[in-house]
Chain A
Protein backbone atom coordinates (compact mmCIF):
# COMPACT_ATOMS: atom_id res chain seq x y z
CA UNK A 1 0.00 0.00 0.00
CA UNK A 2 1.37 3.39 -0.99
CA UNK A 3 0.30 6.77 0.34
CA UNK A 4 1.03 9.96 -1.56
CA UNK A 5 0.96 13.20 0.39
CA UNK A 6 -0.19 16.50 -1.11
CA UNK A 7 3.44 17.62 -1.40
CA UNK A 8 4.29 14.55 -3.47
CA UNK A 9 6.12 12.58 -0.74
CA UNK A 10 5.40 8.89 -0.75
CA UNK A 11 5.23 6.54 2.23
CA UNK A 12 4.95 2.81 1.82
CA UNK A 13 3.19 0.60 4.29
CA UNK A 14 4.03 -3.07 4.21
CA UNK A 15 1.17 -5.43 3.41
CA UNK A 16 -0.25 -7.02 6.52
CA UNK A 17 0.53 -10.71 7.03
CA UNK A 18 -2.46 -11.31 9.27
CA UNK A 19 -4.42 -13.21 6.62
CA UNK A 20 -1.62 -15.78 6.16
CA UNK A 21 -1.30 -16.27 9.89
CA UNK A 22 -5.05 -16.82 10.25
CA UNK A 23 -5.03 -19.32 7.36
CA UNK A 24 -2.06 -21.17 8.88
CA UNK A 25 -3.81 -21.40 12.26
CA UNK A 26 -6.97 -22.76 10.62
CA UNK A 27 -4.98 -25.29 8.60
CA UNK A 28 -3.08 -26.48 11.66
CA UNK A 29 -6.29 -26.77 13.67
CA UNK A 30 -7.80 -28.89 10.91
CA UNK A 31 -4.74 -31.16 10.84
CA UNK A 32 -5.02 -31.52 14.61
CA UNK A 33 -8.70 -32.45 14.36
CA UNK A 34 -7.91 -35.17 11.81
CA UNK A 35 -4.86 -36.50 13.65
CA UNK A 36 -6.58 -36.75 17.05
CA UNK A 37 -9.85 -38.23 15.72
CA UNK A 38 -11.72 -35.39 17.31
CA UNK A 39 -15.38 -35.80 16.57
CA UNK A 40 -18.25 -33.50 17.40
CA UNK A 41 -20.60 -36.37 16.65
CA UNK A 42 -19.23 -38.47 19.51
CA UNK A 43 -19.17 -35.43 21.74
CA UNK A 44 -22.85 -34.76 21.08
CA UNK A 45 -23.95 -38.37 21.42
CA UNK A 46 -21.90 -39.29 24.49
CA UNK A 47 -21.57 -35.90 26.15
CA UNK A 48 -24.67 -36.43 28.24
CA UNK A 49 -22.90 -39.37 29.99
CA UNK A 50 -20.89 -36.75 31.80
CA UNK A 51 -24.06 -35.51 33.42
CA UNK A 52 -25.08 -39.08 34.22
CA UNK A 53 -21.89 -39.46 36.25
CA UNK A 54 -22.28 -36.02 37.81
CA UNK A 55 -25.88 -36.81 38.82
CA UNK A 56 -24.95 -40.20 40.27
CA UNK A 57 -22.43 -38.38 42.51
CA UNK A 58 -25.34 -36.59 44.14
CA UNK A 59 -25.87 -36.61 47.04
CA UNK A 60 -22.29 -37.15 48.17
CA UNK A 61 -21.96 -39.97 50.65
CA UNK A 62 -21.38 -38.15 53.96
CA UNK A 63 -20.68 -41.45 55.68
CA UNK A 64 -17.61 -41.93 53.49
CA UNK A 65 -16.08 -38.73 54.87
CA UNK A 66 -14.37 -40.55 57.74
CA UNK A 67 -12.29 -42.52 55.22
CA UNK A 68 -11.31 -39.34 53.39
CA UNK A 69 -9.56 -37.47 56.20
CA UNK A 70 -6.34 -39.49 56.17
CA UNK A 71 -5.71 -39.37 52.40
CA UNK A 72 -6.82 -35.71 52.31
CA UNK A 73 -4.27 -34.73 54.94
CA UNK A 74 -1.70 -36.94 53.21
CA UNK A 75 -2.29 -34.92 50.07
CA UNK A 76 -1.91 -31.61 51.90
CA UNK A 77 1.17 -32.83 53.79
CA UNK A 78 2.75 -34.02 50.54
CA UNK A 79 2.23 -30.69 48.86
CA UNK A 80 3.31 -28.65 51.88
CA UNK A 81 6.49 -30.62 52.52
CA UNK A 82 7.25 -31.01 48.82
CA UNK A 83 6.76 -27.29 48.18
CA UNK A 84 8.97 -26.37 51.14
CA UNK A 85 11.79 -28.73 50.14
CA UNK A 86 11.61 -27.71 46.48
CA UNK A 87 11.53 -23.98 47.26
CA UNK A 88 14.55 -24.20 49.57
CA UNK A 89 16.60 -26.33 47.16
CA UNK A 90 15.83 -23.83 44.40
CA UNK A 91 17.62 -20.96 46.16
CA UNK A 92 21.28 -21.93 45.57
CA UNK A 93 20.52 -22.94 41.97
CA UNK A 94 18.67 -19.69 41.30
CA UNK A 95 21.63 -17.69 42.63
CA UNK A 96 24.01 -19.65 40.43
CA UNK A 97 21.75 -19.01 37.42
CA UNK A 98 21.61 -15.20 37.90
CA UNK A 99 23.83 -13.32 35.50
CA UNK A 100 24.18 -10.31 37.83
CA UNK A 101 25.68 -12.41 40.65
CA UNK A 102 27.63 -15.06 38.73
CA UNK A 103 29.77 -13.74 35.92
CA UNK A 104 30.82 -17.14 34.60
CA UNK A 105 28.65 -17.82 31.53
CA UNK A 106 29.38 -21.56 31.54
CA UNK A 107 28.08 -22.07 35.09
CA UNK A 108 24.97 -20.03 34.28
CA UNK A 109 24.17 -22.01 31.12
CA UNK A 110 24.69 -25.37 32.82
CA UNK A 111 22.44 -24.47 35.76
CA UNK A 112 19.76 -23.01 33.48
CA UNK A 113 19.85 -26.06 31.22
CA UNK A 114 19.47 -28.26 34.30
CA UNK A 115 16.47 -26.24 35.52
CA UNK A 116 14.83 -26.44 32.07
CA UNK A 117 15.42 -30.18 31.91
CA UNK A 118 13.83 -30.73 35.30
CA UNK A 119 10.91 -28.52 34.29
CA UNK A 120 10.11 -30.68 31.28
CA UNK A 121 9.51 -33.82 33.39
CA UNK A 122 5.76 -34.16 33.94
CA UNK A 123 5.05 -34.40 37.68
CA UNK A 124 3.12 -37.62 37.18
CA UNK A 125 6.15 -39.23 35.52
CA UNK A 126 8.43 -38.07 38.32
CA UNK A 127 5.98 -39.54 40.84
CA UNK A 128 5.90 -42.83 38.93
CA UNK A 129 9.70 -43.03 38.86
CA UNK A 130 9.82 -42.10 42.55
CA UNK A 131 7.49 -44.98 43.41
CA UNK A 132 9.96 -47.36 41.77
CA UNK A 133 12.78 -45.89 43.86
CA UNK A 134 11.24 -45.33 47.30
CA UNK A 135 8.17 -47.55 46.99
CA UNK A 136 4.47 -46.73 46.97
CA UNK A 137 3.23 -44.04 49.31
CA UNK A 138 3.38 -40.38 50.20
CA UNK A 139 7.19 -40.14 50.11
CA UNK A 140 7.12 -40.66 46.35
CA UNK A 141 4.45 -37.97 46.03
CA UNK A 142 6.46 -35.57 48.18
CA UNK A 143 9.51 -36.09 45.97
CA UNK A 144 7.48 -35.47 42.81
CA UNK A 145 6.05 -32.23 44.22
CA UNK A 146 9.49 -31.13 45.42
CA UNK A 147 11.04 -31.71 41.98
CA UNK A 148 8.33 -29.73 40.23
CA UNK A 149 8.47 -26.88 42.78
CA UNK A 150 12.26 -26.80 42.54
CA UNK A 151 12.21 -26.23 38.79
CA UNK A 152 9.36 -23.76 38.84
CA UNK A 153 10.48 -21.62 41.79
CA UNK A 154 14.11 -21.83 40.62
CA UNK A 155 13.28 -20.29 37.26
CA UNK A 156 11.10 -17.52 38.67
CA UNK A 157 13.59 -16.75 41.43
CA UNK A 158 16.58 -16.27 39.14
CA UNK A 159 14.53 -13.99 36.93
CA UNK A 160 13.69 -11.95 40.04
CA UNK A 161 17.29 -11.81 41.21
CA UNK A 162 18.29 -10.49 37.81
CA UNK A 163 15.91 -7.53 38.04
CA UNK A 164 16.99 -6.58 41.56
CA UNK A 165 18.63 -3.22 42.43
CA UNK A 166 22.36 -4.00 42.68
CA UNK A 167 23.15 -0.79 44.58
CA UNK A 168 22.92 -2.19 48.12
CA UNK A 169 24.99 -5.21 47.09
CA UNK A 170 27.71 -2.93 45.71
CA UNK A 171 27.60 -0.78 48.86
CA UNK A 172 27.83 -3.68 51.30
CA UNK A 173 30.65 -5.23 49.31
CA UNK A 174 32.46 -1.88 49.31
CA UNK A 175 32.62 -1.85 53.07
CA UNK A 176 34.26 -5.20 53.29
CA UNK A 177 31.67 -7.96 53.11
CA UNK A 178 32.01 -11.20 51.17
CA UNK A 179 29.77 -11.77 48.14
CA UNK A 180 27.61 -14.19 50.12
CA UNK A 181 27.16 -11.69 52.96
CA UNK A 182 26.42 -8.86 50.53
CA UNK A 183 23.83 -11.04 48.82
CA UNK A 184 22.21 -11.98 52.12
CA UNK A 185 22.06 -8.45 53.50
CA UNK A 186 21.56 -6.50 50.28
CA UNK A 187 19.57 -8.65 47.85
CA UNK A 188 17.69 -11.14 50.01
CA UNK A 189 15.45 -8.46 51.61
CA UNK A 190 14.53 -7.27 48.12
CA UNK A 191 13.46 -10.66 46.78
CA UNK A 192 12.18 -12.33 49.93
CA UNK A 193 8.55 -11.10 49.79
CA UNK A 194 8.01 -12.08 46.17
CA UNK A 195 9.93 -15.31 46.67
CA UNK A 196 7.60 -16.34 49.51
CA UNK A 197 4.59 -15.21 47.46
CA UNK A 198 5.70 -17.43 44.58
CA UNK A 199 6.30 -20.39 46.88
CA UNK A 200 2.77 -19.98 48.25
CA UNK A 201 1.33 -19.72 44.74
CA UNK A 202 3.20 -22.87 43.79
CA UNK A 203 1.90 -24.61 46.93
CA UNK A 204 -1.68 -23.70 45.94
CA UNK A 205 -1.26 -25.42 42.61
CA UNK A 206 0.57 -28.34 44.18
CA UNK A 207 -2.42 -29.28 46.34
CA UNK A 208 -4.36 -29.95 43.14
CA UNK A 209 -1.47 -31.85 41.53
CA UNK A 210 -0.96 -33.89 44.70
CA UNK A 211 -4.58 -35.06 44.53
CA UNK A 212 -3.74 -36.73 41.20
CA UNK A 213 -0.50 -38.37 42.23
CA UNK A 214 -2.31 -41.25 43.94
CA UNK A 215 -3.15 -42.57 40.46
CA UNK A 216 0.42 -43.77 40.09
CA UNK A 217 0.54 -44.98 43.68
CA UNK A 218 2.18 -41.94 45.21
CA UNK A 219 -0.33 -41.66 48.05
CA UNK A 220 -3.05 -39.19 48.94
CA UNK A 221 -6.53 -38.60 47.57
CA UNK A 222 -5.73 -39.91 44.10
CA UNK A 223 -5.43 -43.41 45.52
CA UNK A 224 -9.02 -43.58 46.80
CA UNK A 225 -10.30 -41.48 43.90
CA UNK A 226 -8.93 -44.01 41.44
CA UNK A 227 -10.35 -46.86 43.50
CA UNK A 228 -13.85 -45.40 43.85
CA UNK A 229 -14.08 -44.39 40.19
CA UNK A 230 -13.20 -47.90 39.03
CA UNK A 231 -15.67 -49.43 41.48
CA UNK A 232 -18.26 -46.95 40.25
CA UNK A 233 -19.05 -45.76 43.79
CA UNK A 234 -19.86 -42.33 42.45
CA UNK A 235 -21.38 -41.01 45.67
CA UNK A 236 -18.05 -41.61 47.42
CA UNK A 237 -16.27 -39.97 44.48
CA UNK A 238 -18.61 -37.01 44.95
CA UNK A 239 -17.66 -36.79 48.60
CA UNK A 240 -13.93 -36.89 47.75
CA UNK A 241 -14.37 -34.12 45.20
CA UNK A 242 -16.36 -31.97 47.64
CA UNK A 243 -13.68 -32.45 50.31
CA UNK A 244 -10.94 -31.58 47.83
CA UNK A 245 -12.84 -28.58 46.54
CA UNK A 246 -13.35 -27.15 50.02
CA UNK A 247 -9.73 -27.79 51.06
CA UNK A 248 -8.36 -26.15 47.92
CA UNK A 249 -10.66 -23.18 48.46
CA UNK A 250 -9.50 -22.74 52.06
CA UNK A 251 -5.83 -23.10 51.14
CA UNK A 252 -6.17 -20.65 48.25
CA UNK A 253 -7.93 -18.15 50.48
CA UNK A 254 -5.19 -18.34 53.13
CA UNK A 255 -2.43 -18.21 50.53
CA UNK A 256 -4.08 -15.33 48.68
CA UNK A 257 -4.39 -13.38 51.93
CA UNK A 258 -0.74 -14.02 52.85
CA UNK A 259 0.48 -13.08 49.38
CA UNK A 260 -1.44 -9.83 49.53
CA UNK A 261 0.18 -9.02 52.87
CA UNK A 262 3.61 -9.70 51.38
CA UNK A 263 3.58 -7.37 48.42
Chain B
Protein backbone atom coordinates (compact mmCIF):
# COMPACT_ATOMS: atom_id res chain seq x y z
CA UNK B 1 0.00 0.00 0.00
CA UNK B 2 1.72 3.13 -1.21
CA UNK B 3 0.70 6.69 -1.81
CA UNK B 4 1.79 8.16 -5.12
CA UNK B 5 1.70 11.83 -5.99
CA UNK B 6 0.67 12.80 -9.48
CA UNK B 7 -0.57 15.76 -11.49
CA UNK B 8 -4.35 16.05 -11.63
CA UNK B 9 -5.95 16.04 -15.03
CA UNK B 10 -6.26 19.60 -16.20
CA UNK B 11 -10.01 19.45 -16.67
CA UNK B 12 -10.81 17.02 -13.89
CA UNK B 13 -13.68 19.14 -12.57
CA UNK B 14 -15.54 19.00 -15.88
CA UNK B 15 -14.83 15.29 -16.21
CA UNK B 16 -16.25 14.34 -12.84
CA UNK B 17 -19.19 16.69 -13.32
CA UNK B 18 -20.06 14.87 -16.53
CA UNK B 19 -20.31 11.73 -14.42
CA UNK B 20 -22.77 13.33 -12.02
CA UNK B 21 -20.31 14.53 -9.36
CA UNK B 22 -20.84 18.24 -8.96
CA UNK B 23 -19.92 18.06 -5.26
CA UNK B 24 -16.21 17.67 -6.01
CA UNK B 25 -15.12 20.77 -4.04
CA UNK B 26 -15.96 21.77 -0.44
CA UNK B 27 -15.09 25.21 0.85
CA UNK B 28 -12.71 25.84 -2.04
CA UNK B 29 -10.77 22.60 -1.39
CA UNK B 30 -11.05 19.54 -3.62
CA UNK B 31 -13.09 16.73 -2.15
CA UNK B 32 -12.27 14.53 -5.14
CA UNK B 33 -8.46 14.43 -4.88
CA UNK B 34 -6.50 13.14 -7.80
CA UNK B 35 -3.24 14.86 -6.88
CA UNK B 36 -2.42 11.49 -5.35
CA UNK B 37 -3.51 7.89 -5.58
CA UNK B 38 -2.87 4.67 -3.70
CA UNK B 39 -1.26 1.59 -5.18
CA UNK B 40 -2.09 -1.83 -3.74
CA UNK B 41 -0.72 -5.25 -4.43
CA UNK B 42 -3.11 -8.05 -5.26
CA UNK B 43 -2.22 -9.72 -1.98
CA UNK B 44 -3.18 -6.60 -0.03
CA UNK B 45 -6.51 -6.45 -1.81
CA UNK B 46 -7.04 -10.13 -1.01
CA UNK B 47 -6.54 -9.31 2.67
CA UNK B 48 -9.04 -6.43 2.55
CA UNK B 49 -11.58 -8.49 0.63
CA UNK B 50 -11.33 -11.43 3.01
CA UNK B 51 -11.56 -9.21 6.08
CA UNK B 52 -14.62 -7.46 4.66
CA UNK B 53 -16.38 -10.72 3.94
CA UNK B 54 -15.50 -12.02 7.38
CA UNK B 55 -16.69 -8.87 9.14
CA UNK B 56 -19.96 -8.84 7.23
CA UNK B 57 -20.56 -12.45 8.26
CA UNK B 58 -19.86 -11.56 11.90
CA UNK B 59 -22.28 -8.66 11.66
CA UNK B 60 -25.05 -10.90 10.34
CA UNK B 61 -24.46 -13.25 13.26
CA UNK B 62 -24.77 -10.30 15.60
CA UNK B 63 -28.08 -9.27 14.03
CA UNK B 64 -29.37 -12.80 14.44
CA UNK B 65 -28.41 -12.76 18.10
CA UNK B 66 -29.93 -9.35 18.74
CA UNK B 67 -33.18 -10.25 17.01
CA UNK B 68 -33.49 -13.62 18.73
CA UNK B 69 -32.62 -12.05 22.06
CA UNK B 70 -35.48 -9.64 21.58
CA UNK B 71 -33.67 -6.86 23.39
CA UNK B 72 -32.84 -3.94 21.15
CA UNK B 73 -32.57 -1.50 24.01
CA UNK B 74 -28.83 -2.07 23.88
CA UNK B 75 -28.77 -0.42 20.49
CA UNK B 76 -30.94 2.50 21.66
CA UNK B 77 -33.95 1.69 19.50
CA UNK B 78 -37.43 2.45 20.90
CA UNK B 79 -39.30 -0.68 21.93
CA UNK B 80 -42.27 -0.02 19.67
CA UNK B 81 -40.05 -0.84 16.66
CA UNK B 82 -38.39 -4.02 17.93
CA UNK B 83 -40.90 -6.50 16.50
CA UNK B 84 -41.06 -4.65 13.19
CA UNK B 85 -37.27 -4.78 12.85
CA UNK B 86 -37.17 -8.44 13.78
CA UNK B 87 -39.81 -9.23 11.17
CA UNK B 88 -37.78 -7.49 8.49
CA UNK B 89 -34.81 -9.70 9.39
CA UNK B 90 -36.87 -12.88 9.40
CA UNK B 91 -38.39 -12.00 6.01
CA UNK B 92 -34.86 -11.55 4.63
CA UNK B 93 -35.67 -8.04 3.48
CA UNK B 94 -32.82 -7.04 1.20
CA UNK B 95 -29.75 -5.22 2.34
CA UNK B 96 -28.33 -3.65 -0.76
CA UNK B 97 -25.13 -2.01 0.34
CA UNK B 98 -22.85 -0.99 3.17
CA UNK B 99 -19.36 0.28 3.76
CA UNK B 100 -16.92 -0.80 6.43
CA UNK B 101 -14.42 1.77 7.58
CA UNK B 102 -11.17 -0.07 8.06
CA UNK B 103 -7.81 0.88 9.49
CA UNK B 104 -5.24 -0.84 7.31
CA UNK B 105 -1.61 -0.05 6.62
CA UNK B 106 -0.76 -2.88 4.25
CA UNK B 107 0.75 -5.14 6.86
CA UNK B 108 -1.28 -5.63 10.06
CA UNK B 109 -4.78 -7.16 9.73
CA UNK B 110 -7.47 -4.61 8.79
CA UNK B 111 -9.40 -3.39 11.82
CA UNK B 112 -13.07 -2.51 11.70
CA UNK B 113 -13.69 1.02 12.91
CA UNK B 114 -17.40 0.95 12.08
CA UNK B 115 -19.96 -0.31 9.60
CA UNK B 116 -21.95 2.27 7.64
CA UNK B 117 -24.63 -0.23 6.78
CA UNK B 118 -27.64 2.05 6.34
CA UNK B 119 -26.74 5.23 4.46
CA UNK B 120 -23.12 4.89 3.33
CA UNK B 121 -21.76 7.86 1.44
CA UNK B 122 -18.99 8.19 -1.16
CA UNK B 123 -20.69 5.63 -3.37
CA UNK B 124 -20.58 7.52 -6.67
CA UNK B 125 -16.94 8.39 -6.07
CA UNK B 126 -15.98 4.79 -5.41
CA UNK B 127 -18.11 3.06 -8.03
CA UNK B 128 -17.92 5.50 -10.92
CA UNK B 129 -15.53 8.40 -10.59
CA UNK B 130 -12.44 6.41 -9.63
CA UNK B 131 -13.28 3.75 -12.25
CA UNK B 132 -13.22 6.38 -15.02
CA UNK B 133 -10.11 7.94 -13.48
CA UNK B 134 -8.39 4.56 -13.77
CA UNK B 135 -9.39 4.19 -17.43
CA UNK B 136 -7.72 7.48 -18.25
CA UNK B 137 -4.83 7.79 -15.80
CA UNK B 138 -3.80 4.15 -15.25
CA UNK B 139 -5.09 2.42 -18.39
CA UNK B 140 -4.63 -1.31 -18.42
CA UNK B 141 -4.39 -1.49 -14.63
CA UNK B 142 -6.95 -3.07 -12.37
CA UNK B 143 -8.82 -1.70 -9.38
CA UNK B 144 -10.78 -3.33 -6.58
CA UNK B 145 -14.09 -1.98 -7.72
CA UNK B 146 -16.94 -4.27 -8.74
CA UNK B 147 -19.41 -1.97 -7.04
CA UNK B 148 -21.29 -0.85 -10.14
CA UNK B 149 -21.98 -4.23 -11.66
CA UNK B 150 -22.75 -5.81 -8.30
CA UNK B 151 -25.29 -3.06 -7.60
CA UNK B 152 -27.02 -3.80 -10.88
CA UNK B 153 -27.08 -7.48 -9.93
CA UNK B 154 -28.60 -6.65 -6.56
CA UNK B 155 -31.29 -4.50 -8.12
CA UNK B 156 -32.09 -7.40 -10.44
CA UNK B 157 -32.51 -9.53 -7.33
CA UNK B 158 -34.86 -6.90 -5.89
CA UNK B 159 -36.80 -6.94 -9.16
CA UNK B 160 -37.25 -10.69 -8.83
CA UNK B 161 -38.82 -10.21 -5.38
CA UNK B 162 -41.34 -7.52 -6.27
CA UNK B 163 -43.93 -6.78 -8.91
CA UNK B 164 -41.60 -5.58 -11.68
CA UNK B 165 -44.18 -3.01 -12.74
CA UNK B 166 -43.79 -1.19 -9.44
CA UNK B 167 -41.95 2.07 -9.53
CA UNK B 168 -39.03 2.34 -7.13
CA UNK B 169 -38.82 5.67 -5.35
CA UNK B 170 -35.55 7.25 -4.26
CA UNK B 171 -35.50 9.73 -1.43
CA UNK B 172 -33.18 11.73 0.78
CA UNK B 173 -32.43 15.37 1.52
CA UNK B 174 -32.25 16.16 -2.17
CA UNK B 175 -31.27 19.79 -1.98
CA UNK B 176 -27.90 18.52 -0.70
CA UNK B 177 -25.77 17.97 -3.83
CA UNK B 178 -23.90 14.98 -2.39
CA UNK B 179 -27.08 13.22 -1.34
CA UNK B 180 -28.75 13.99 -4.63
CA UNK B 181 -25.74 12.66 -6.55
CA UNK B 182 -25.80 9.42 -4.58
CA UNK B 183 -29.55 8.99 -4.90
CA UNK B 184 -29.47 9.71 -8.62
CA UNK B 185 -26.68 7.20 -9.09
CA UNK B 186 -28.63 4.56 -7.22
CA UNK B 187 -31.66 5.30 -9.41
CA UNK B 188 -29.45 4.90 -12.45
CA UNK B 189 -28.26 1.41 -11.52
CA UNK B 190 -31.82 0.47 -10.56
CA UNK B 191 -33.04 1.48 -14.00
CA UNK B 192 -30.21 -0.43 -15.62
CA UNK B 193 -31.57 -3.48 -13.80
CA UNK B 194 -34.90 -2.95 -15.53
CA UNK B 195 -36.96 -1.17 -12.88
CA UNK B 196 -38.52 2.26 -13.19
CA UNK B 197 -37.24 4.81 -10.70
CA UNK B 198 -38.34 8.22 -9.50
CA UNK B 199 -36.76 10.66 -7.04
CA UNK B 200 -38.60 12.68 -4.46
CA UNK B 201 -37.40 14.63 -1.48
CA UNK B 202 -37.88 13.03 1.93
CA UNK B 203 -40.24 15.86 2.94
CA UNK B 204 -42.39 15.12 -0.10
CA UNK B 205 -43.24 11.62 1.06
CA UNK B 206 -46.91 11.68 1.94
CA UNK B 207 -49.23 9.57 4.06
CA UNK B 208 -52.82 9.02 2.97
CA UNK B 209 -53.98 6.97 5.92
CA UNK B 210 -52.96 3.65 4.41
CA UNK B 211 -49.85 4.11 2.32
CA UNK B 212 -46.85 6.33 1.96
CA UNK B 213 -47.48 8.21 -1.27
CA UNK B 214 -45.69 10.19 -3.95
CA UNK B 215 -46.60 13.71 -4.98
CA UNK B 216 -49.32 12.41 -7.28
CA UNK B 217 -50.88 10.39 -4.48
CA UNK B 218 -49.65 7.05 -5.82
CA UNK B 219 -48.72 4.44 -3.22
CA UNK B 220 -44.99 3.98 -2.72
CA UNK B 221 -44.38 0.23 -2.72
CA UNK B 222 -40.57 0.33 -2.77
CA UNK B 223 -38.57 3.18 -1.27
CA UNK B 224 -34.81 3.53 -1.37
CA UNK B 225 -33.93 6.03 1.32
CA UNK B 226 -30.64 7.80 1.78
CA UNK B 227 -31.92 8.99 5.12
CA UNK B 228 -30.86 7.28 8.34
CA UNK B 229 -33.31 5.00 10.07
CA UNK B 230 -32.73 6.62 13.44
CA UNK B 231 -33.92 9.93 11.99
CA UNK B 232 -37.01 8.34 10.47
CA UNK B 233 -37.87 6.66 13.77
CA UNK B 234 -37.83 10.00 15.57
CA UNK B 235 -40.10 11.88 13.15
CA UNK B 236 -43.83 12.43 12.90
CA UNK B 237 -44.53 9.69 10.37
CA UNK B 238 -42.63 7.04 12.36
CA UNK B 239 -45.74 5.23 13.66
CA UNK B 240 -46.91 4.74 10.07
CA UNK B 241 -43.81 2.65 9.38
CA UNK B 242 -45.31 -0.13 11.47
CA UNK B 243 -48.43 -0.45 9.32
CA UNK B 244 -47.32 0.61 5.86
CA UNK B 245 -46.92 -1.78 2.92
CA UNK B 246 -43.78 -0.03 1.71
CA UNK B 247 -40.63 -2.11 1.27
CA UNK B 248 -37.66 -0.05 2.39
CA UNK B 249 -34.14 -0.22 1.08
CA UNK B 250 -32.08 -0.42 3.20
CA UNK B 251 -34.20 -2.83 5.18
CA UNK B 252 -35.09 -1.90 8.78
CA UNK B 253 -32.78 -4.57 10.23
CA UNK B 254 -29.79 -2.74 8.76
CA UNK B 255 -30.19 -0.09 11.43
CA UNK B 256 -28.81 -2.59 13.93
CA UNK B 257 -25.49 -2.54 12.09
CA UNK B 258 -25.15 1.14 11.32
CA UNK B 259 -25.48 1.78 15.03
CA UNK B 260 -22.16 2.09 16.88
CA UNK B 261 -23.52 -0.10 19.66
CA UNK B 262 -22.84 -3.02 17.36
CA UNK B 263 -19.11 -2.54 18.05
CA UNK B 264 -19.10 -3.67 21.70
CA UNK B 265 -21.66 -6.35 20.88
CA UNK B 266 -19.33 -7.77 18.22
CA UNK B 267 -16.43 -7.68 20.67
CA UNK B 268 -18.52 -9.54 23.26
CA UNK B 269 -19.39 -12.19 20.70
CA UNK B 270 -15.97 -12.52 19.08
CA UNK B 271 -13.37 -11.36 21.61
CA UNK B 272 -9.87 -11.20 20.22
CA UNK B 273 -10.96 -11.44 16.59
CA UNK B 274 -8.09 -10.08 14.46
CA UNK B 275 -10.34 -7.72 12.48
CA UNK B 276 -12.13 -6.28 15.50
CA UNK B 277 -11.05 -3.70 18.04
CA UNK B 278 -11.88 -4.00 21.74
CA UNK B 279 -15.06 -2.02 22.39
CA UNK B 280 -17.30 -1.55 25.38
CA UNK B 281 -20.40 0.17 26.71
CA UNK B 282 -18.24 1.33 29.64
CA UNK B 283 -15.45 3.87 29.50
CA UNK B 284 -13.94 2.27 32.57
CA UNK B 285 -13.01 -0.81 30.55
CA UNK B 286 -10.20 1.22 29.01
CA UNK B 287 -7.47 2.41 31.32
CA UNK B 288 -5.59 4.29 28.66
CA UNK B 289 -6.57 6.46 25.71
CA UNK B 290 -9.52 5.31 23.62
CA UNK B 291 -12.10 6.57 21.16
CA UNK B 292 -15.55 7.66 22.22
CA UNK B 293 -18.30 7.28 19.62
CA UNK B 294 -21.86 8.47 19.73
CA UNK B 295 -24.18 5.54 19.08
CA UNK B 296 -25.94 7.43 16.28
CA UNK B 297 -23.07 9.63 15.09
CA UNK B 298 -22.20 9.78 11.43
CA UNK B 299 -19.40 11.06 9.24
CA UNK B 300 -17.09 11.64 12.19
CA UNK B 301 -19.70 13.52 14.18
CA UNK B 302 -19.69 12.46 17.83
CA UNK B 303 -16.26 10.84 17.61
CA UNK B 304 -13.56 12.06 19.96
CA UNK B 305 -10.20 10.80 21.10
CA UNK B 306 -9.94 10.45 24.88
CA UNK B 307 -6.65 10.64 26.71
CA UNK B 308 -5.94 8.31 29.61
CA UNK B 309 -7.54 10.54 32.23
CA UNK B 310 -10.52 11.78 30.22
CA UNK B 311 -13.86 10.56 31.56
CA UNK B 312 -15.89 11.14 28.41
CA UNK B 313 -19.68 11.36 28.20
CA UNK B 314 -22.16 8.83 29.42
CA UNK B 315 -25.20 9.30 27.22
CA UNK B 316 -25.62 6.98 24.23
CA UNK B 317 -21.91 6.48 23.63
CA UNK B 318 -19.62 3.51 23.26
CA UNK B 319 -15.86 3.31 23.64
CA UNK B 320 -13.43 1.62 21.31
CA UNK B 321 -9.71 0.91 21.57
CA UNK B 322 -7.59 3.49 19.84
CA UNK B 323 -6.28 2.30 16.49
CA UNK B 324 -4.51 5.19 14.77
CA UNK B 325 -4.98 5.36 11.03
CA UNK B 326 -1.84 4.95 8.94
CA UNK B 327 -0.25 8.19 7.84
CA UNK B 328 0.98 8.77 4.30
CA UNK B 329 2.53 12.13 3.39
CA UNK B 330 1.13 13.65 6.61
CA UNK B 331 -2.39 12.47 5.85
CA UNK B 332 -4.40 9.91 7.74
CA UNK B 333 -5.88 7.36 5.33
CA UNK B 334 -8.96 5.24 5.91
CA UNK B 335 -10.26 2.42 3.73
CA UNK B 336 -13.94 2.35 2.92
CA UNK B 337 -14.62 -1.26 1.98
CA UNK B 338 -17.92 -1.84 0.21
CA UNK B 339 -20.32 -4.70 0.68
CA UNK B 340 -22.89 -5.08 -2.09
CA UNK B 341 -25.53 -7.64 -1.24
CA UNK B 342 -23.43 -9.99 0.85
CA UNK B 343 -20.18 -9.65 -1.07
CA UNK B 344 -17.09 -7.54 -0.67
CA UNK B 345 -17.13 -5.43 -3.81
CA UNK B 346 -14.53 -2.69 -3.78
CA UNK B 347 -12.84 0.08 -1.86
CA UNK B 348 -12.52 3.83 -1.67
CA UNK B 349 -9.91 5.76 0.28
CA UNK B 350 -10.39 8.97 2.23
CA UNK B 351 -7.60 11.17 3.53
CA UNK B 352 -7.52 13.87 6.14
CA UNK B 353 -4.82 15.88 7.91
CA UNK B 354 -6.76 15.16 11.13
CA UNK B 355 -6.97 11.71 12.73
CA UNK B 356 -10.78 11.64 12.54
CA UNK B 357 -12.31 11.23 9.10
CA UNK B 358 -15.12 13.69 8.40
CA UNK B 359 -17.46 14.47 5.55
CA UNK B 360 -14.91 16.76 3.90
CA UNK B 361 -12.04 14.25 4.02
CA UNK B 362 -10.63 13.91 0.53
CA UNK B 363 -11.55 10.92 -1.61
CA UNK B 364 -8.43 9.56 -3.34
CA UNK B 365 -8.51 6.92 -6.10
CA UNK B 366 -6.54 3.68 -6.11
CA UNK B 367 -5.25 1.02 -8.45
CA UNK B 368 -3.58 -2.38 -8.33
CA UNK B 369 0.10 -2.11 -9.03
Do chains A and B interact in one complex? no
Binding site for A on B (CB under 8 A): none
